[in-house]
Every structure is written in structure tokens, then in C-alpha cells.
Amino acid sequence: MALICPRVHLLQRSTPRHHNLNHRCPHKYLNLLPIASSPSPSTIAAAVALNSKERRRRRGAACVVGVVTAMANLDKTTVLVTGAGGRTGKLVYEKLKERSAQFIGRGLVRTPESKEQIGGADEVFIGDIRSTDSLLPAIQGIDALIILTSAVPKMKPGSDPTKGRPEFYFEDGAYPEQVDWIGQKNQIDAAKAAGVKQIVLVGSMGGTNPNHPLNNLGNGNILIWKRKAEQYLADSGLPYTIIRAGGLQDKDGGVRELIVGKDDELLQTETRTIARADVAEVCIQALQIEEAKFKAFDLASKPEGTGTPTKDFKALFSQVTTRF
């Protein structure tokens, strides 16, 4: 039997009954009405009501799915990693994404190129830490913030490391005072205003020595400005974890015994380096373990093959007694 859309049939009574069979009525149930007879108003009303009921059922099902998803996300911690385009920041961001049952990971980078390098997902924001307004879209709605931003010195053109110590410089607007002090202060202030529950800040060992060689790079006093930002965080009233990492190495994590210390004591030993992957893991663990809160510590590792690879992070954090 041929089918016809009754809406067209009723509006075009003067036209032949040979209705265009390719036409599909938006009311899918009305397409089942035969062309042989004009549908009565009661038949049309019943069909429309059935269609409306089906639409409500589908909306209800979609709503249920949305509610279930939202409820599932309530049990997750939303974490923003700033400096996610850097070598250590990228590792932290990837670890968060791998543990999607526990975390909703976000990243903040400086450029579109950096965003593409870490996957280009919608959860990666482009911003400038020197501008508080630039940070707000990424920070709104997060539970925790992991700060991995840092000024980066560049070697002066013409410098030859084989002929002595090379010279370094910082680009305009990217000096440690602007990045490691003002930029980190902006992040802390924005996080506090947004109700963030915890901040993990990754710094460097060496901050107790104003004459540390790193301070001479580009005349930037980088460790001095980092230390000032760390103090600002410790005084903010927010739960915090300050990790002062030793010399960073691009090696596999999870295969060394980690060591914590204070006041640069580890710099006087042979264990003053650590894999970036281990620093990234400590950042993630600090979000989950109460013993990590309101603490600051130096972090290094024993050489691979000596000691026992660290697995008990609660025990590691419990060794720390210093708040700054």
C-alpha cells in the first residue's frame, strides 16, 4: 500500500493523491498512514501524541545518561597542569589522562603549537601566566592545580660550550621575575579565588644559596624568584605541596628509590638527581595522600639498581616534617 504524509495530504487537497513518495514527514509515525483514505483528525492527533511520547522518551534517556555521567565525574578530581607543554609538565598531564577513573586532566600551554604537541584536546587551554585574566578559563571548576611553569634561559648566539662556559640570556618578558614570581603568584591568586583545594608546586633545589650558579644564568636570579613564589604559596592558606626537584633526567620512572630532604642537604651528597617521570609521579601522588599537604621538601633518587624502588608514597611523604 502506498504511504503519504497526512500533513501534506490535508494541506494540498486539490492536488492528486499521487503524493511524492520520496517525501518523509518529520512526524515519523504519520508516514505509516495509507494514501487510500484521508486520516481523521483523531487519527492525526493520536499519531502526533505517539511521536511526542517517543521524543520525550528519548530526551529522558539522554537526560539519564547525562546525569549518570555527571554523577560519575563528581567522584573525580579535576586537575590543571600549567606548563603542560614542558618535558615534565607533559608527563604529569599524560599520567592524569591515563588515570581517567580518578582524574579529569586539564593542561595550560603558551602556544597553539604546544597544544598540538600534547594532543590538541579541548581540555588543553592556551594562556599567559603573566596575565590573570588569561588563566581564568582554565582554572574555573578545577579541584587542584599543579604548577610546572618556569623561565627558560637560552644560549647566546655564538657561544661555544667547547671553549668555556657558554653565556645565556632570557627573552624580553620571560625573565624569572616575570615567570617564576609574577606568573606563579598570578596562578596562586587565581586558584585561591576559584576555590581550588590544593596546589602542587614544582621548584628546584639550590634556593637556599643566593650565589648558586643557576642564579647567574642571564643574570636572572631564577632560584631567588622561585623561592619567593614558594614562600607566597606557603603563606596563602591553601593546602600545598612544594617539591624542590634535583637535577632532572629524561629517564624511565618507577625504578629507583626516592629520597626526600630539606634545605638543600641533598646537594652535598651523590644523590642529587631525579628522573622527570618520578617527579611527575610524586605530583600525582601528592594529590591523593593527606601526608603530602602543607609540606615542602627536596626530592632526588638513588642510582638505578641500588635501594628499593619507591612504591609506598604515604611513607615517603611521612618522612617530611618541614612546612617550608
Averaged pLDDT score across all residues of the chain: 86
Residues 302 and 271 sit within 8 Å (Cβ to Cβ) = yes
Would the pLDDT of 114 be above 70? yes
Q: According to the model, what pLDDT value does residue 324 have?
A: 94
Amino acid identity, residue 266?
Answer: L
Q: Is 25 a residue whose pLDDT tops 80? A: no
Question: What's phi and psi for 120, nearest 5 deg?
Answer: 65, 20
* Model confidence pLDDT, tens digit, residues 179-193: 999 999 999 999 999
- Helices 184-193 and 222-234 cross at an angle (nearest 10°) of 20
pLDDT of residue 3: 45
Non-local CB neighbours of 41 within 8 Å, separated by 6+ positions: none
Catalytic position from the list 38, 40, 52, 204: 204
Give dist(CA 111, CA 94) in Å, integer. Answer: 18
Between CA 81 and CA 27 the distance in angstroms is: 49
Least confident of 39-53, 127-141, 228-242, 285-299: 39-53
Task: Tell me the C-alpha distance between 208 and 265, whole Å.
Answer: 10
Is this model's pTM higher than 0.75 or not? yes
Beta bridge partners of 144: 79, 198
Q: What is the mean pLDDT of residues 76-105?
A: 98
Distance CA(198)–CA(283), nearest Å, equals 11
Q: Is the pLDDT of residue 117 over 70?
A: yes
Examine the pLDDT at 154 and tell me if it is beyond 80: yes
Mean pLDDT of 95-111: 97
Mean pLDDT of 260-275: 95
Q: Which residue has the higher pLDDT, 144 or 164?
A: 144
Alpha-carbon distances, residue 232 vs 40, 228, 241 (angstroms)? 77, 6, 13
Among 12-26, 253-267, 302-316, which is the least confidently predicted range?
Answer: 12-26
Residue 14 among the catalytic residues: no
Residue 20: pLDDT over 60: no
The band of 160, judged by pLDDT with boundaries at 50, 70 and 90, is confident
